[in-house]
Amino acid sequence: MCFFCVCEYQVDATGKEIVLGQRYGYSRAQNGFSHTTIGTAIGVAKDKVRLGGCKVKHFLYGEPTSFGNCASDVSIRANMVFPVYEDVNVEAS
């Protein structure tokens, strides 16, 4: 595993190699607004991973406000995503 080097493969936030077909997620927050996105890795390029079939959940100060599908695939830096396992509920609550 490498954390601070240039790799021939992409690693996730836990330092493990990105596996195509595996589900990954990431979160972003700013000024009380946040969203969590979960999708399936469908490609890697340079230092990014492309997630397809994404679901996104929006929050305002920790309270869910909306839930839905992403309009398109998402491309994000590989080291920002974490593995998501099948028993995680990504449906609206």
Which residues neighbour 33 within 8 Å (Cβ) at sequence distance 6 or greater?
58, 59, 60
Give per-residue pLDDT as tens, 44-70: 988 899 999 999 999 999 898 998 998
d(CA 25, CA 40): 9
Q: What is the pLDDT of residue 91?
A: 61
Q: What is the pLDDT of residue 1?
A: 40
pTM: 0.80
**Cα 14 off chain centre by:** 13
Q: What is the pLDDT of residue 55?
A: 92
* Placement of tokens 């998402």 in the chain: 74
DSSP string, 46-59: TTEEEEEEEEEEEE
Give per-residue pLDDT as tens, 27-49: 999 999 999 999 999 999 888 99
